[in-house]
Amino acid sequence: MISVGDKAPEFVLKDRDGRDVALSDFIGKRVVLYFYPRDNTPGCTRQACAFSGLYQRFKEKNVEVIGVSRDSVESHRKFSEKHGLGFILLSDPELVAIKAFGVWKEKKLYGKTSFGVVRTTFVIDENGKVERVMPKVKPDTNAAEILAEL
């Protein structure tokens, strides 16, 4: 997994409208980059809605919020519309950013082992360096915790 002080890996992924978005597009701004397992699941929906509810306060601090999952562009569009999400969601079906940031891991659920995205949040500074890593975050409190620290 990426550590504090590392240069954040560059990626280009599609947003909910099918446009290319590169992490380097945000040089000069801090970025809260959070990885989550799946659109429209209870925990992921709570986390996204929490970020959306605080998004204006992040913007006031010149911080961009970006959510990344394996879901399709179309899934992100529907998820955003359904919940009124104002921040960027990126589709990573090929696991480009997910693997680069080290959040694709073995998980156990009900005795079964599989691979999936481990809910993790990174804060990236204005120069593209990782300033905070938050592994296995709680969906209900993640956004507020980060905002309080900023």
* Residue 62 banded pLDDT, cuts 50, 70, 90: very high
In the predicted model, is pLDDT for residue 109 greater than 90?
Answer: no
Q: Which residue has the tokens 């929490």?
A: 50
Average pLDDT score, the chain: 95
In the predicted model, is pLDDT for residue 37 greater than 90?
Answer: yes
Q: Which position among 44, 98, 137, 146 bears the catalytic label?
A: 44
Dihedrals phi, psi of 120, to nearest 5 degrees: -145, 145
How many degrees, rounded to 5, is the angle at CA 70 between CA 66 and CA 71?
A: 90
How many angstroms separate the Cα of 52 from the Cα of each of 44, 81, 84? 12, 12, 8
pLDDT digits (tens, 9 = 90+) for 17-36: 999 999 999 999 999 999 99
Does the annotation count 49 as an active-site position? no
In the predicted model, is pLDDT for residue 46 greater than 80?
Answer: yes
The total of other beta-carbon atoms located within 10 Å of residue 114's CB is 8
Q: Please check whether residue 34 is in contact with residue 126, taking contact to mean a CB–CB distance below 8 angstroms.
A: no
3-state SS, residue 53: helix
In the predicted model, is pLDDT for residue 89 greater than 90?
Answer: yes
Domains of the chain, earliest start first: 12-149 (3.40.30.10)
pTM, two decimals, is 0.94
